[in-house]
């Protein structure tokens, strides 16, 4: 009996001794699982926050770029509008200028003709008019007068007198227009008017710049008096 009690007592002692070990392991498992779950939750939360933050940054970047593009487009549109307005104002000013210059030359020619027509031969009156207009310069020497006969012969080419006496009906601009022929036709048909064409600037051979001239017919000698402005 004593031996049996000793065995039973030892068994209970073993069971009691094993219980704390089991509980400790279970506790460790639970704690470990909670830690893993916590890490997963924290990691998932951080990942979601990162993705949200990145998406917000991309949206802000897109909105910023869109606003900058809109701002730049608005500024460019405003600049183009200002340039267009300046161009229109410049075009109007140039038209007014070339028109006025030709009217002044025509008035001078008409005055000399009326004053001397009964006292001098036509040849002398023509020379008086040519001599009066030849030295006149505008725009720092870039503006001067032309006189062309109705048959295309150049009477006055103030900047290049060697061209005087030549027939210029075959002269074409950089786009193939027969400039002198068209001007004569305009003067004969309408009496006066603006003529647009392209012309090369000295030192820029082959480059066509816009040019506008005003022409006016001087009937007593069948002359076309004209003056032009080269843009660019």
Residues of the chain with confidence (pLDDT) below 70: 1-20, 22, 71-89, 202-207, 232
Pairing of strands 154-157, 192-199: unpaired
Cα–Cα distance between 168 and 84 in angstroms, integer? Answer: 35
pLDDT per position as a tens digit, 157-213: 999 999 999 999 999 998 899 999 999 999 999 999 999 999 877 666 656 788 999
CB atoms within 10 A of CB 220: 14
Q: What's the predicted TM-score (pTM) here?
A: 0.63
Report all structural domains of the chain as residue ranges with CATH numbers, in order of start.
Answer: 93-230 (3.30.450.20)
CB-neighbour burial class of residue 145 (10 A; exposed 0-12, middle 13-18, buried 19+):
buried
């Amino acid at each position: 009996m004593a031996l049996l009690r000793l065995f039973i007592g030892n068994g209970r002692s073993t069971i009691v001794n094993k219980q704390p070990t089991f509980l400790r392991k279970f506790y460790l498992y639970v704690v470990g699982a909670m830690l893993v779950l916590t890490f997963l939750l924290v990691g998932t939360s951080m990942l979601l926050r990162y993705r949200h933050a990145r998406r917000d940054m991309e949206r802000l970047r897109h909105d910023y770029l869109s606003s900058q593009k809109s701002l730049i487009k608005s500024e460019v549109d405003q600049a183009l509008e200002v340039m267009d307005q300046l161009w229109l104002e410049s075009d109007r000013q140039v038209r007014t200028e070339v028109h006025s210059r030709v009217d002044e030359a025509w008035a001078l020619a008409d005055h000399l003709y009326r004053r001397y027509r009964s006292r001098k031969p036509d040849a002398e009156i023509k020379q008086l008019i040519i001599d009066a207009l030849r030295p006149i310069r505008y725009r720092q020497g870039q503006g001067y007068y032309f006189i062309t006969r109705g048959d295309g012969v150049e009477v006055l080419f103030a900047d290049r007198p060697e061209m005087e006496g030549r027939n210029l009906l075959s002269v074409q601009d950089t786009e193939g227009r027969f400039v002198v022929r068209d001007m004569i036709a305009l003067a004969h048909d309408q009496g006066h008017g603006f003529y647009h064409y392209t012309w090369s600037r000295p030192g820029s051979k082959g480059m066509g710049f816009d040019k506008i001239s005003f022409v006016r017919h001087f009937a007593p000698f069948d002359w076309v008096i004209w003056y032009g402005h080269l843009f660019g």
